[in-house]
Structure 1
Amino acid sequence: MIGARSGRVAVTGASGLLGSKLAFRLAAEGAPQRLVVRDAARAPRLGDDPLPESDVAVVGGYTDTRGMVEAFTGVDTVVLVSARESADRVAQHRAAVDAAIAAGVGHLVYVSFVGAAPDATFTFARDHWRTEEYIRATGVRHTFLRDNLYHRGLALMVGEDGVIRGPAGDGRVASVSHDDIADVASVVLLDTDPGRHDGVTYDVTGPEALTLAEVADVLSAVTGREIAYHPETLEEAYASRERFRAPRFEVDGWVSSYTAIAAGELARVSDTVPRLVERPAQSFAAWLDDYPEEWAHLRPA
């Protein structure tokens, strides 16, 4: 069922970690693509002899309507990697969707988040739900990849003092690797029967759900440094983040990522990776082994 399709794929955010991983996978399968980036110098180099049908489109962001329509013209499928968290994130997504529709794109693959809902505990998951609803309303063929928190994100939760702080209680999180998300997206994009993914929502998770105390134990074992988890109260969580002087919506997102864990909303382990990619999903411990540069800052001084 898997093989290079004739339609060109536009990969947004192609200079980012997820977008670049996906671009390399598509190139390896001979799929023509358009890398949509803000800076051409940061576009992934797909090899010394890239496909003649593949190119780079430079845009000023998702709200650059003219640039986005031009980037999507002649494209069959758009992979819409969600924008960085911001106060107008949903508006940015809607602008990108509108550009895809105006360009005549036939299929949208949107990178969403598990548990996306209007009342999700994780405030940014509400943004994803609003984006999904907007895409559905257009009538365009679509597939949603609802990812859990990234393995990389768990490593970044550790403070300079070696402590993970947050109001997650003893809840669990089924974090996932960027590689697994890119592999799932590749299967969807390269399927010779793409219609089987129309209107489908895939939860993309790792193979296990860990408490943050267990995450700390895994990190301790791998890094050789004592990493601990301190379960904050809600009030402590907001107080400990005041020093960053970040906008309230951003702090709400940070804190609610932990309370969503406490509420059990990130604990479900899906079978998407083994079912579609036909191999086990990558565990947090295995990811740490594969990407030591991502946690080099956690090594003992």
Structure 2
Amino acid sequence: MGEEASLARVAVTGSTGHLGGLVARLLADDGVPQRLLVRSPERAPDLPGAQVLQAAYGDRDAVERALEGVEVVLFVSATESVDRTDQHERFAEAAVRAGVRHVVYTSFQGAGPDASFTLARDHAATEEILRLSGMAWTFLRDSLYLDVLPAWVGDDGVLRGPAGDGAVAAVARADVARCAAAVLTDVLADPGTHGGRAYELTGREAITLDQATRTISDVTGRSARYHAETLHEAYTSRAVYGAPRWQVDAWVSTYTAIAEGALRHVSGDVERLTGREPMTLRDVLQAT
């Protein structure tokens, strides 16, 4: 292991993705040495003070080697899969064996074993694994990303889903990244901070999908409107993708969670952690 990697007290996973990459860049900008744990090293960002190490979540031995000497790790949840919780458990076991003191995990708003959004149940299971691991933990329970709402609009300009007139306090990826970087640097400076805390990361307002499409149209000039599907329509319209049932359930339950009000709560945690008011959908669209 190189000298930079041996000096790094923080590790970041998921840096080849949107969120982990943003966090890694923020840490690099602040001059924080770090290790980037990735499955595909050729896709990792080239950042000053960063050592890239190949370690898939399910490879306990590789993760343990990569985390040796690390004090705090940002654990970005794995890609959605039927065995995601098992991958998370193996990663946690490796982190414990490596001597990691504190894990910061990207969870989901309203995570719980009976959550309406089915993937939030995976997050609840992972949270329990981390609680029992013996490591200090911090959970960043982010809402849906504002950044993905434009991608939900189809080629025909219609955003379809069974969300009714429910509202979602969606959050910008950039705000989640700033929160994660703030927590990591705080823990490095004072190991006693943020332990045993769960932060709910939301935008500054809850918006309906009708409001979202109106904003998308206004800012981008692209025609967009919302169609509130029935549950039957939602499953039928997604059947063409040939995805497994658990995946379709996850897609559809994203909208039903909105309809039920499970993602409507607006928290002040983003501003508390970063000192900045969260971005709106309009801010996100204007920044792209």
**Shorter-chain TM-score above 0.5:** yes
Shift of residue 7 of structure 1?
Answer: 6.0
**Pairwise mapping of residues 81-230 of structure 1 onto structure 2 (< 5 A)?**
81-191=76-186, 192-230=189-227
The alignment's TM-score, normalised by the length of structure 1, stands at: 0.91
Corresponding residue number in structure 2 for 1:43: 44
Cα separation, 2, equivalents of 1:153 and 1:254: 13
Corresponding residue number in structure 2 for 1:261: 258
- How big is each residue's C-alpha offset from its partner over 1:94-125, in whole Å with a ceiling of 9 and x where there is no partner? 11111101111000000000000011000000
Q: 2:104 is matched by which residue type in structure 1?
A: V
Shift of residue 76 of structure 1?
Answer: 0.7
Q: Does 1:272 align with 2:269?
A: yes
Given that residues 188 and 194 in structure 1 are in contact (C-alpha distance below 8 angstroms), is that contact kept between their aligned partners in structure 2?
no
Shift of residue 208 of structure 1?
Answer: 0.9
- How big is each residue's C-alpha offset from its partner over 1:224-247, in whole Å with a ceiling of 9 and x where there is no partner? 122110001111100110000001
The alignment's TM-score, normalised by the length of structure 2, stands at: 0.95
Question: Mean alpha-carbon deviation: is it higher for 256-265 or for 152-161?
Answer: 152-161
Corresponding residue number in structure 1 for 2:51: 55
Shift of residue 139 of structure 1?
Answer: 2.1
Q: CA 1:37/1:7 → structure 2, altered by over 3 Å: closer, same or farther?
A: closer
Q: Which runs of 4+ in 1 moved over 3 A?
A: none
Q: Does 1:8 align with 2:3?
A: no
Cα separation, 2, equivalents of 1:198 and 1:78: 13
Q: Which residue, 35, 57, 61 being the options, matches 1:66?
A: 61
Given that residues 220 and 285 in structure 2 are in contact (C-alpha distance below 8 angstroms), is that contact kept between their aligned partners in structure 1?
no
- How big is each residue's C-alpha offset from its partner over 1:162-214, in whole Å with a ceiling of 9 and x where there is no partner? 10101000000111111101110111111123422000000011111100000
Cα separation, 2, equivalents of 1:225 and 1:286: 16
Cα separation, 2, equivalents of 1:240 and 1:228: 17
Given that residues 147 and 204 in structure 1 are in contact (C-alpha distance below 8 angstroms), is that contact kept between their aligned partners in structure 2?
yes
Structure 2 unaligned runs (5+)? 1-6
Question: Mean alpha-carbon deviation: is it higher for 244-253 or for 223-232?
Answer: 223-232
Q: 2:9 is matched by which residue type in structure 1?
A: R
Corresponding residue number in structure 1 for 2:33: 32
Cα separation, 2, equivalents of 1:279 and 1:246: 39
CA RMSD, aligned part only?
1.1
Q: Percent identity?
A: 51
Cα separation, 2, equivalents of 1:271 and 1:85: 28
Count residues in correspondence.
280
Give the 3-state SS of the residue equivalent to 1:208 in structure 2: coil
Structure 1 unaligned runs (5+)? 1-5, 292-301
Given that residues 7 and 77 in structure 1 are in contact (C-alpha distance below 8 angstroms), is that contact kept between their aligned partners in structure 2?
no
Shift of residue 31 of structure 1?
Answer: 1.4
Given that residues 10 and 33 in structure 2 are in contact (C-alpha distance below 8 angstroms), is that contact kept between their aligned partners in structure 1?
yes
- How big is each residue's C-alpha offset from its partner over 1:39-68, in whole Å with a ceiling of 9 and x where there is no partner? 22211111xxx23xx311012x21112111
Give the 3-state SS of the residue equivalent to 1:241 in structure 2: helix
Give the 3-state SS of the residue equivalent to 1:184 in structure 2: helix
Corresponding residue number in structure 1 for 2:229: 232
Shift of residue 147 of structure 1?
Answer: 0.5
Cα separation, 2, equivalents of 1:179 and 1:205: 12
Cα separation, 2, equivalents of 1:137 and 1:276: 25
Q: Which residue, 243, 249, 274 being the options, matches 2:246?
A: 249
Q: 1:65 is matched by which residue type in structure 2?
A: R
